[in-house]
């Protein structure tokens, strides 16, 4: 418990910065929406004439962009990018920073097992992500309501936030998995960034050219189809895949960190 | 000179990785070009019928995606984002690394002025970015020629790609300034990612707002690819702003670094 | 009873040597000195004991429990002061100490204030603003506040001024009186001499010798300083048992290990103008060891 509290305190500043950025992003998105809404329903008919691949490039496939929910859904891609960056960095740093700051010789000589240390740090990560998501949720409620002239879309927002949370937990576990295999934070964050950007670009490529959609198993950005999630249904296969990756990464984190030498 | 060479030696590996990564991403996207160019031609016709407010609000591109250069210009945004993160990271770490690695006392106790240190390090970052641009342009030229047999205007192609360096310089200079303002930076990459994404969000906002002054704040707005493709030139007012920003950040870096207290080891 | 039992401990970092076949025991209540030059493997041994790193082969036990398997229980009763101290920069000293205390069952907040007073440590400053010596003080308080049964000190006095060094040695002495076991690693021999009951000498990853400090100091070794009326021939002191011989014209110094009568007989042959016989310092004995083993 002491480690959890200590981690929460140590991460507070960065958490606040990320929450503020997210709120700003949502605000920016909604301002953008007001522009489209002004054009009105006719815009939608125009969109529908576009070829599927082109709609994907523009990030507006199968969603009604003039409705606020469709528009919010389009923006979800950016939420995923921001949220997963936050999560993967958090995961990559939270364990490895003890070696970076050379405090590992302080913490790990305490009468506590290494697995307890990891558990505490993972709990702190989970709490950070939960707070980040709650803030995202509240900011979404608030800014959407500000620009929404039709029916409230809170249910859809909640569904998307659940997907976002799962995605973040997944990325945090990937980050943690990476960090125990590398010997320092710098390598861990570089590797995590590379992986994240590759996955993001891969998902963008799949959008452009659907014949390579078999790559979708490789990028968590494709695990949650926005339109489907907004209806409140999750793809069982991808949920299982997420769970599988998550459990594998966490298990590797525990077993590897348990066995490895601490370098300072 | 010794600092400069040492810095280059330490960064050459990551330079290769990043440049290679950018080219790989480009290659991947360009391979998709033949598959979508027909769809894109159809879209061009449709979009031209859209009301201009809508195209603007959506940030819809006026690039012709059916043309090699248009498609290249469109996906250049991804390259720009990766390059910007690299530049920001390089600028931010070059001076602060000494504090992280606890070598500041070592370096600053040598008989050299802080200005010499800053100059050597800035020159090394500058060299890295120039090197990257050169390698990238050569690589990109090969990739584009491999993936399409369309003819394209080489000057415009060069202009698009040079904007990479100009945006990178902005981020590198900003990174330098931030690294001397903040007392101690523990991990560079998350901050660099966050800031670059932040500027990108500003750009999205800028695109959808008509008559916005936001464009002056974010370097992503300084070099509008669709305008470069259309006119074959940069917009001079933004070019000047970019130059002033870079110079301003750099000068402030010198001033602040000279007065900075080094945290003890 | 042995508090520490190390059997054939080996640690390689890839191919490079950490320690090779290190074996020794530390008994309950003793202060064991662990001596060797930089890079000899002192820290490697200690970090293995704390299961910060894992041995390539061999085993180590503390309180009769395996260091790796039962590390958690063992660490409940260990106080550790690393050679270089690093703590969370943005914490205040008192917060760090309370955080440290929160890990132990029998932590007593008053002990923090007591130790801080002895070590003259300002509890309200930020870790980041502390000097090296002051961080070291934090390390000392942090290592002692939970009244450990075994204290492991890795070159503890670096950065402390002589006054603080004395207070620190008093603290360790107090702990020793209470029956606490201490493993004291150092390359400064005089400080080991001051406090330790036994010493182990490590060199290039190998334990060369473990000896009672009194055996080392008294029984065998004598340091001779001799001046004669006339110049001394270079090979004059070619006697078994002499080491560290230094002859300069009429003066000679050496360390002798063996029957002292041999030297007395030898000196009888010539006119001696000055003769000093003294206990050699540990330093000189070790130099002798290192020469011999090299």
How many Cβ atoms are within 10 Å of C136's Cβ, its own excluded?
Answer: 25
Dig out the tokens for B129 from the structure.
């970015």
Interface residue C131 vs chain B (CB under 8 A) = yes
Q: Are residues C25 and C56 in the same domain?
A: yes
pLDDT of residue A262: 87
Within a domain: B265: no
Q: Are residues C30 and C136 in the same domain?
A: yes
Interface residue B54 vs chain A (CB under 8 A) = yes
pLDDT of residue C248: 85
Contact (CB, 8 A) for C226 and C211 = no
CB-closest option in A6, A113, A264 to C99: A6
**C59 forms bridges with which residues in the sheet?**
C7
Q: Are residues C54 and C25 in the same domain?
A: yes
What residues contact residue C183 under an 8 Å CB cut-off, 6+ apart? Answer: C4, C26, C32, C34, C46, C49, C150, C151, C152, C153
pLDDT of residue C294: 45
Q: Are residues C193 and C266 in the same domain?
A: no
Dig out the tokens for C52 from the structure.
């910060």
Within a domain: B168: yes
Chosen domain end from C176, C192, C216: C216
pLDDT of residue C113: 94
pLDDT of residue C66: 93
pLDDT digits (tens, 9 = 90+) for A85-127: 999 999 999 999 999 888 999 999 999 999 999 999 999 999 9
Chosen domain end from C194, C216, C238: C216
pLDDT of residue C123: 94
- Nearest residue of chain B to residue A27 (CA atoms): B205
Q: CATH no. for residue C227? A: 3.30.70.1560
Q: With beta carbons under 8 A apart, name residues in chain B contacting A30.
A: none
Q: Chain C: give the shortest CA distance to residue B211, in Å.
A: 45
Mean pLDDT across chain A, nearest whole number? 87
What residues contact residue B178 under an 8 Å CB cut-off, 6+ apart? Answer: B92, B185, B191, B195
**C4 forms bridges with which residues in the sheet?**
C26, C62
Show me where the domains of chain A are located.
Answer: 2-259
The per-residue b/e assignment along C6-28, b for 16 or more CB within 10 angstroms, e otherwise, is beebbbeeeeebbbbebebbbee
Total number of domains in chain C = 2
Q: Which chains pack against C, by 3+ Cβ pairs within 8 A?
A: A, B
User: Measured between alpha carbons, how far is C157 from C172 in angstroms, rounded to an integer?
Assistant: 12
Interface residue B101 vs chain A (CB under 8 A) = no
* CB interface of C with A, residues 186-215, below 8 Å: none
Within a domain: B54: yes
Report CA dihedral (B235, B237, B240, B242) to the nearest 10 degrees: -70
C132–B264 CB contact, under 8 Å: yes
For residue C26, the Cα-to-chain-centroid distance in whole angstroms is 13
Question: Side-chain half-sphere of A39: how many Cα atoms within 13 Å?
Answer: 23
Contact (CB, 8 A) for A22 and A168 = no
pLDDT band at residue A78 under the 50/70/90 scheme: confident
Contact (CB, 8 A) for A225 and A235 = yes
Q: Is the pLDDT of residue A15 over 90?
A: yes
DSSP per residue, A154-201: HHHHHHHHHHHHHHHHHHHHHHHHHHHHSSSHHHHHHHHHHHHHHHHH
Interface residue C128 vs chain B (CB under 8 A) = yes
Domain that holds residue C288: 220-293
Nearest to A128 by CA among A183, A180, A89, A184: A89
Report CA dihedral (C1, C2, C3, C5) to the nearest 10 degrees: -160
- Strand C221-228 to strand C272-278: parallel, antiparallel, or no bridges (unpaired)? antiparallel
pLDDT digits (tens, 9 = 90+) for A124-177: 999 999 999 999 999 999 999 988 877 888 899 999 999 999 999 999 999 999
Dig out the tokens for C233 from the structure.
């021939």
Domain that holds residue B161: 2-259
- From first to last of its 265 residues, chain B has per-residue pLDDT tens of 788 998 998 899 999 999 999 999 899 888 888 877 777 777 777 777 777 766 766 666 667 778 888 889 888 988 999 999 999 999 999 999 888 887 887 888 777 888 999 999 999 999 999 999 999 999 999 999 988 888 888 899 999 999 999 999 999 999 999 999 998 888 898 889 889 988 888 887 777 666 667 788 889 989 988 888 888 889 999 999 999 999 999 999 999 998 888 776 5
A21–B14 CB contact, under 8 Å: no
CB-closest option in B184, B263, B264 to C131: B264
Whether this model's pTM surpasses 0.95: no
User: Measured between alpha carbons, how far is C95 from C102 in angstroms, rounded to an integer?
Assistant: 10
Interface residue B48 vs chain C (CB under 8 A) = no
- Nearest residue of chain C to residue A99 (CA atoms): C86
Total number of domains in chain B = 1
Number of cross-chain residue pairs from A and C with Cβ atoms under 8 Å apart: 63
Q: Is the pLDDT of residue A65 over 70?
A: no
pLDDT digits (tens, 9 = 90+) for A207-237: 777 778 888 899 999 898 888 888 888 889 9
Q: Is the pLDDT of residue A68 over 90?
A: no
In a 3-state reduction of DSSP, which class is residue C203? strand
Q: Are residues C15 and C101 in the same domain?
A: yes
Interface residue A231 vs chain C (CB under 8 A) = no
How many Cβ atoms are within 10 Å of A40's Cβ, its own excluded?
Answer: 11
Element (H, E) at C2: strand C2-13
B205–A58 CB contact, under 8 Å: no
B184–C132 CB contact, under 8 Å: no
- From first to last of its 294 residues, chain C has per-residue pLDDT tens of 899 999 999 999 888 899 999 999 999 999 999 988 888 899 999 999 988 888 999 999 999 999 888 888 899 999 999 888 888 888 899 999 999 998 888 778 899 999 999 999 999 999 888 888 999 999 999 999 999 999 999 989 888 899 999 999 999 999 999 999 999 998 877 788 788 999 998 888 999 888 888 776 655 678 888 898 888 887 888 888 787 788 888 888 888 887 888 888 888 888 888 999 887 776 676 666 656 554
Contact (CB, 8 A) for A224 and A207 = no
Q: With beta carbons under 8 A apart, name residues in chain B contacting C129.
A: 264
Element (H, E) at C66: strand C65-66
Q: With beta carbons under 8 A apart, name residues in chain A contacting B102.
A: none
Within a domain: B111: yes
Contact (CB, 8 A) for A173 and A92 = no
Backbone φ and ψ of C183, nearest 5°: -110, 115
What residues contact residue C178 under an 8 Å CB cut-off, 6+ apart? Answer: none
pLDDT of residue B209: 67
Contact (CB, 8 A) for C25 and C5 = yes
User: Measured between alpha carbons, how far is B16 from B138 in angstroms, rounded to an integer?
Assistant: 14
């Amino acid at each position: 418990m002491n480690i959890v509290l200590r981690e929460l305190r140590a991460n507070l500043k960065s958490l606040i910065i990320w929450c503020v950025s997210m709120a700003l992003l949502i605000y920016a998105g909604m301002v953008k929406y007001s522009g489209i809404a002004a054009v009105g329903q006719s815009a939608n008919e125009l969109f529908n004439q576009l070829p599927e691949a082109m709609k994907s490039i523009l990030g507006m496939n199968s969603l009604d962009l003039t409705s606020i929910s469709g528009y919010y859904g389009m923006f979800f891609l950016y939420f995923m990018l921001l949220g997963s960056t936050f999560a993967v960095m958090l995961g990559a740093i939270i364990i490895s920073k003890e070696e970076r700051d050379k405090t590992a010789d302080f913490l790990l000589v305490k009468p506590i097992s290494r697995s307890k240390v990891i558990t505490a740090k993972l709990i702190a990560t989970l709490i950070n992500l939960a707070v980040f998501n709650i803030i995202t949720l509240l900011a979404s409620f608030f800014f959407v309501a500000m620009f929404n002239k039709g029916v409230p879309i809170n249910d859809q927002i909640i569904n998307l936030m659940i997907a976002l949370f799962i995605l973040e937990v997944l990325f945090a576990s990937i980050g943690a998995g990476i960090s125990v295999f590398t010997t320092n934070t710098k390598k861990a964050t570089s590797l995590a960034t590379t992986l994240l950007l590759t996955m993001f670009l891969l998902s963008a490529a799949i959008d452009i050219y659907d014949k390579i959609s078999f790559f979708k198993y490789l990028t968590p950005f494709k695990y949650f189809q926005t339109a489907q999630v907004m209806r409140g249904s999750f793809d069982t296969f991808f949920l299982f895949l997420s769970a599988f990756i998550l459990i594998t990464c966490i298990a590797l984190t525990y077993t590897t960190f348990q066995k490895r030498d601490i370098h300072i | 000179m010794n600092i400069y060479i040492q810095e280059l030696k330490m960064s050459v590996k990551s330079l290769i990785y990043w440049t290679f990564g950018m080219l790989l991403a480009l290659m991947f996207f360009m391979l998709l070009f033949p598959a979508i160019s027909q769809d894109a031609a159809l879209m061009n016709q449709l979009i031209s019928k859209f009301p201009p407010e809508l195209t603007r609000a959506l940030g819809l591109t006026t690039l012709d995606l059916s043309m090699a250069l248009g498609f290249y210009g469109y996906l250049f945004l991804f390259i720009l984002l990766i390059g910007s993160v690299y530049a920001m990271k390089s600028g931010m770490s070059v001076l602060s690394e000494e504090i992280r690695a606890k070598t500041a006392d070592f370096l600053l106790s040598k008989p050299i002025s802080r200005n010499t240190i800053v100059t050597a390090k800035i020159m090394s970052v500058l060299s890295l970015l120039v090197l990257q641009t050169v390698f990238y342009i050569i690589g990109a030229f090969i990739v584009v020629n491999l993936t399409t047999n369309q003819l394209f205007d080489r000057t415009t192609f060069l202009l698009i790609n040079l904007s990479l360096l100009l945006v990178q310089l902005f981020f590198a200079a900003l990174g330098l300034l931030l690294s001397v303002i903040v007392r101690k930076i523990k991990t560079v990459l998350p901050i660099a990612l966050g800031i670059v994404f932040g500027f990108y969000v500003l750009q999205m906002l800028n695109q959808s707002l008509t008559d916005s002054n936001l464009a002056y704040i974010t370097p992503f707005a300084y070099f509008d690819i669709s305008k470069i493709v259309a006119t074959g030139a940069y917009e001079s007012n933004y070019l000047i702003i970019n130059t002033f920003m870079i110079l301003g950040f750099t000068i402030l870096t010198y001033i602040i670094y000279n007065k900075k207290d080094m945290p003890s080891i | 009873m042995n508090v520490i039992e190390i059997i054939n401990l080996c640690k390689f970092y890839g191919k490079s040597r950490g320690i090779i076949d290190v074996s020794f025991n530390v008994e309950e209540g003793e202060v064991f000195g662990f001596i060797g030059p930089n890079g000899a493997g002192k820290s490697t041994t200690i970090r293995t004991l704390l299961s910060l790193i894992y041995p390539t082969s061999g085993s180590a036990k503390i309180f009769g429990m395996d260091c790796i398997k039962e590390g958690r229980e063992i660490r409940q009763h260990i106080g550790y002061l690393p050679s270089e101290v690093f703590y969370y920069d943005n914490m205040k000293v008192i917060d760090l100490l309370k955080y440290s205390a929160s890990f132990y069952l029998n932590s007593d907040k008053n002990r923090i204030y007591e130790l801080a007073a002895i070590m003259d440590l300002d509890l309200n400053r930020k870790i980041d603003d502390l000097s090296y010596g002051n961080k070291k003080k934090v390390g000392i308080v942090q290592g002692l506040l939970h009244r450990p049964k075994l204290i492991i000190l890795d070159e503890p006095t670096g950065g402390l001024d002589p006054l603080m060094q004395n207070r620190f040695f008093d603290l360790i002495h107090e702990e020793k009186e209470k029956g606490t076991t201490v493993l004291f690693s150092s390359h400064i021999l005089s400080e080991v001499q001051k406090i330790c009951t036994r010493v182990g000498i490590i060199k290039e990853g190998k334990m060369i010798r473990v000896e009672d400090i009194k055996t080392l100091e008294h029984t065998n070794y004598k340091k001779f300083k001799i001046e004669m009326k006339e110049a001394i021939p270079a090979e004059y002191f070619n006697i078994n048992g002499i080491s560290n011989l230094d002859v300069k014209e009429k003066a000679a110094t050496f360390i002798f290990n063996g029957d002292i009568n041999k030297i007395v007989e030898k000196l009888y042959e010539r006119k001696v103008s000055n003769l000093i016989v003294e206990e050699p310092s540990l330093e000189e004995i070790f130099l002798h060891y290192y020469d011999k083993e090299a």
